[in-house]
Structure 1
Amino acid sequence: MTRFSIVTDLNRCVGCLTCAVACKAINNVPIGSFWNKVLRIGPSASIQGAQDGESYLYFLPVQCQHCIDPECVKVCPTGVSHKLADGTVQIDKSKCIGCQFCAMSCPYNVRYLNEAEGVVEKCTLCEQRIAQGELPQCVNQCGGMARFFGGLDQGMETFEGAQYGKERITLGEFCDPYADTDVHTLPNVENNPSLRYILRNHEWKGGE
């Protein structure tokens, strides 16, 4: 069974927001709304100056987590929110009644109502691209080469990214080594998020 996911190496993410901009451009996301947000975590301590080696921060991209057991699908009264065989959570906008039950139930606040169309929208993992064997646009355009796409059942080492938006690279070959304890998810409230985050040598605060 395929379970598509994105792995982000937070030690490589520079907070350039290219992923958010590329996502808005290719998916025509309205002004003021985002399918992909980048949060700044930290600084972890007061910055005393250039010699303060204890202070650090990192950037955390947040989008639909394409959960294994998504709350949004459970509460949708019309079946508009649904899971595909590839593990992604999608929205059939032609049937959406705009009730926003799914948006209210999402633990990550990554859905919104497109008021012009009267339908709820969110990240689709660029369904239109991955169906053609392409990478999601946020992965393809990642300036820090920190984002990788693939199937969890094939192992994170096989996930692919793009070097300068062109040559394909794999997480296993390109990224620094990491331990199992360096791999994290956003808070799991029995929904089992699919996206993964790698963070080495820093305190993970994405579960808060």
Structure 2
Amino acid sequence: MSNSRRLFLKGACIAVVGASGFTLARAKSTSATNVEPACKYALVHDETKCIGCDACSIACREVNQVPEGVDRLEIKREGPFGEYPNQQFHFTRISCQHCDDAPCVKVCPTGAAYKDPKTGIVCVDEWKCVGCQYCIAACPYQVRFINPVTKAADKCDFCKETRLKENSLPACVSACPTKALTFGDITDPQSQVVQVLKSTPSYRSKTDLGTRPKVFRIASQSGEIEL
């Protein structure tokens, strides 16, 4: 599809959306969110094993051709905690949470944001995206951005269009030198990700919002503050 045709379609979408008040598109996206996928991919980040080396974010950028200035995946560093020489840092993964009940999908007026019916991965169809940024505003995890090359909303998609198509693990998982990341289908009781979640206490971010995120975290003990 040529750029001119894409721009035409975007303009047409904006006009239609403005006239309809988003009713039809939002109803479609809501119904799509409620469809149960054939499997549900999830990720576990073991913060006790993470060393903040950035191998995951570098691999993500290279494999998915993420432009400079934006990130699908970041590692947030906090610390140091404790007294020298026993100081430690706390590393937190910042990326799309692939919510079961995704606010970004609900507000998208064109259906560009959607949940893949096969994998449960929250995706973006860049050809449908009109750059309205409603999904960016709706995301409670603040992990979406406008790709400066495609001009469409972008974020982590678990390497759905790259590594998963090759039946390989997401780039971040393969690149991690300490095996701090585990990926798999949480509907499969025999999967590694389920075994990890069964054997180790974990937590998820902002579960009080009802989004049911599919990125789980094993909490690092370092950095806790005792009151």
State the partner residue of 1:4: 41
Unaligned runs of at least 5 residues, structure 1: 160-169
Residue 18 (structure 2) aligns with: none
Give aligned pairs, total: 185
Instruction: Quote the residue 2:170 is aligned against.
Output: 136
Deviation at 1:201, TM superposition (A): 3.7
- Relative distance call for 1:140 and 1:60 in structure 2 (3 A) is same
Corresponding residue number in structure 2 for 1:162? none
Match for residue 118 of structure 1? 151
Gaps of 5+ in 2: 1-37
Residues 117 and 98 of structure 1, relative CA distance in 2, 3 Å threshold: same
Q: Which has the higher helix share?
A: 2
TM-aligned CA deviation for residue 157 of structure 1:
5.9
Q: Greater strand share, 1 or 2?
A: 1
Overall identity of the aligned pairs, in %: 32
The equivalent position to 1:83 in structure 2, one of 115, 121, 128, is 115
| Aligned-pair CA distance for 1:200 | 5.2
**CA offset at residue 121 of structure 1?**
0.7
Find out whether 1:17 has 2:36 as its counterpart: no
Distance (Å, rounded) in 2 between the aligned partners of 1:137 and 1:106: 23
CA distance in 1, matches of 2:61, 2:83: 37
Q: 1:58 Cα deviation (Å)?
A: 1.7
The answer on whether the counterparts of 1:7 and 1:156 sit within 8 Å (CA) in structure 2 is: no
Task: Name which of 163, 185, 190 aligns with 2:204.
Answer: 185
1:70 and 2:102 aligned: yes
Q: Distance in 1 between matches of 2:101 and 2:224?
A: 23
Deviation at 1:24, TM superposition (A): 0.5
- Quick one: which amino acid aligns to residue 193 of structure 1? P
